[in-house]
Amino acid sequence: MDTGSLNADSLREEQLHLSLLVSSGWRTIRFHVVPVVRRGLGVPALEGAQQMPGFPEASLRRVLSQGVDLVPASAQLWRTSTDYLLTRLLGELGSLQGHRLDSLSVLDRVNHESWRDGGRTDGLTFSHLKMVLLWASTLFPAPEDWAELQGAVYRVLVVLLCCLATRRLPHFLHPHHNLLQGSGLDLGVVYQRVEGFASQPEAALRIHATHLGRSPPPRVSSGLKALLQLPASDPTYWATAYFDVLLDKFQVFNIQDEDRIAAMQSIFQKTRTLGSKER
């Protein structure tokens, strides 16, 4: 059974939260307990979010209709928060067939034990990974994308690698907000660790009781980082066909839909043309 302890010391430091430490068996997780005012406030930025591929329309409408909450920004001011909405959206993903949340669990543990050296170094947070999964779920909306665990993990990985290479992770509900800006992280170092895992996952995955699948681990081909940086100069690349090209680079595309294959091949030819012009 998980155990937790509540630390009230932070209140004497004029912080706006209580710290709750919970042991999950393989690490201790810190939760910040904050007061929340449920106002159901509408946000203009969410109006265009009524159609998100990968989420059932009815459940999406139900979640977003709850609006945003108010949480303390200072001793006198409040700010809006979408944390509850994002948690509900993750819950909707968990109700679908496939390994969406399983892929998040795998990468959360790899992040903690490998990329962050057991929590001893700074790096990505669970909130970063959660946001990447939400984007991956819309970029890869087909059930077959998430049917097999190895493929599910790599769908999250290619989106994460692109965000690190371009140094931009958009907030899922406020895309103009870059969650990597001002993070204080050495994103070049983080990128190298994530790419190292993507190209040779078995070294980190020995810590897991569950393997990703029977197929041989993918190997990254040359020119990956240049390809990952394309959305920085042309936002239209932030689309399924482009990320399918990345999956193909890791040999985990495995999609039978003819229209999607054709779209992926079209983007691939476009990237080859761009590459030849730059030489």
Which string of DSSP letters, residue by residue, matches 226-239?
Answer: HHHTHHHH-GGGSS
- 27 in any annotated domain: no
Q: What pLDDT is stored for residue 275 in this prediction?
A: 55
Is a pLDDT exceeding 90 seen at residue 46? no
Angle of helix 240-249 relative to helix 149-166, nearest 10 degrees, comes to 110
Examine residue 87 and state whether it is found in any structural domain, yes or no.
Answer: no
Looking at the chain, the number of H-run helices and the number of E-run strands are: 12, 6
pLDDT at 108 over 80: yes
- Residue 237's pLDDT band (boundaries 50, 70, 90)? very high
Count CB atoms within 10 A of the CB of residue 139: 21
Q: Which of 16-20, 172-176, 202-206 has the lowest mean pLDDT?
A: 202-206
Q: What is the CATH number of the domain that holds 140?
A: 1.10.1410
Question: Can you tell me the distance from the alpha carbon of 245 to that of 168, in angstroms, rounded to the nearest whole number?
Answer: 20
Predicted local distance difference test score (pLDDT) of residue 44:
55
Please tell me whether the overall predicted TM-score, pTM, comes out greater than 0.95 for this model. Answer: no
249 vs 156: which has the higher pLDDT: 156
In a domain, 19, yes or no: no
The conformational region for residue 254 under phi > 0 = left, psi -120 to 50 = alpha, else beta, is left
pLDDT band at 208 (very low <50, low <70, confident <90, very high): very low
Given a cut of 90, whether residue 225 has pLDDT beyond it is no
The two structure tokens encoding residue 233: 């100069």
Looking at the predicted structure, is the pLDDT value of residue 42 above 60?
yes
What integer is the mean pLDDT of 84-99? Answer: 92
Q: Is the pLDDT of residue 9 over 80?
A: no
Do the domain assignments include residue 80?
no
Helix (H) or strand (E) segment spanning residue 57? helix 57-64
Q: Which two tokens stand for residue 220?
A: 């990254």
Question: What is the predicted pLDDT for the residue at 12?
Answer: 56
| C-alpha to C-alpha distance for 152 and 157, rounded to whole angstroms | 9
Helix (H) or strand (E) holding 21: strand 18-23
User: Tell me, what's the pLDDT at 209?
Assistant: 43
Order of strands, sheet of 18-23, starting from the edge strand that comes earlier in the sequence: 3-7, 18-23, 28-33
Instruction: Report yes or no on 29 lying in a domain.
Output: no
Domain that holds residue 246: 98-278
Domain membership of residue 193 (yes or no) is yes
Give the pLDDT confidence score for residue 109 in this predicted structure.
92
Residue 181 domain-assigned? yes
Contact 226, 249 (CB under 8 A): no
Neighbours of 140 (CB within 10 A): 26
Give per-residue pLDDT as tens, 56-84. 888 888 887 787 888 888 878 888 888 88
- Tally of domains in the chain: 1
Q: Which of 31-40, 55-64, 239-248 has the highest mean pLDDT?
A: 239-248
Examine residue 250 and state whether it is found in any structural domain, yes or no. Answer: yes
